[in-house]
Copies of this chain bind each other. A is one copy, B any other.
């Protein structure tokens, strides 16, 4: 069983990251529990999306201690860094959005998600998919093919190409950081 938490601000596409990872895991015949909390984007409120992947049915998908935290805002980084497994956990963070705590003993992985989305794709809206690709590849959570399949069933056709490119960019970043 692995517990993954995505966190960031409303509008960054945090929920979508969780939904796509969950759907990709189901394509690979796993059981999934998901829990998310969110509010109006206009409030710039924090939001989180937890995904628990397991070989058996999950009744209550609350992440008790995250194995993985993937973070896209400073505030949610501060809120959630203490909820990560102290011995084996790992924190991925968008290096343009989060300044990590130098005193934290946890394994930290910077991912230039927003930067790459802007410079290579000209659209910061897909930074979430860059970060998702990097996390999934670095930890080998599901295959790239399952991710892409989940994305296809989830994203409007007009935005699909852009999202697939962003995912591939992230996978490339993750490949260099495989754990």
CB-CB under 8 A from A157, the residues of chain B are: 156-158
Residues of B within 8 A of A156 (CB): 156-157
Q: Decide if B37 touches A61 in the complex (CB within 8 Å).
A: yes
Number of copies: 2
A42 to B35, CA, bound (A): 23
- If the complex has contacts A33-B37, A39-B31, are A45 and B57 also in contact, measured as CB distance less than 8 A? yes
Which B residue's beta carbon lies closest to that of A41?
B26
Cβ A40 vs Cβ B19 within 8 A: no
Residues of B within 8 A of A37 (CB): 31-34, 57-61
> A166 CA to B58 CA in the complex, in Å?
31
The answer to whether A62 has its CB under 8 Å from any CB of chain B is yes
Question: Which residues of chain B have C-beta atoms less than 8 A from A34's C-beta?
Answer: 34-37
Whether the pair A35, B38 counts as a contact (CB closer than 8 A) is no
Contact, CB under 8 Å: A36 / B61: yes
Bound-state Cα–Cα, A60 to B48, Å:
10
Asked if A29 CB lies within 8 Å of chain B CBs, one says: yes
A177 at the interface (CB under 8 A from B): no
- Tell me if A30 is interfacial: C-beta within 8 Å of chain B: yes
A14 to chain B, nearest CB (A): 12
Contact B35 A60 (CB under 8 A): yes
Known contacts A26-B40, A40-B26, A33 near B31 by CB under 8 Å: no
Task: Given A62-B60, A62-B62, answer yes or no on A32-B39 (Cβ-Cβ < 8 Å).
Answer: yes
Alpha-carbon distance between A18 and B143 when the two chains are bound, in angstroms: 27
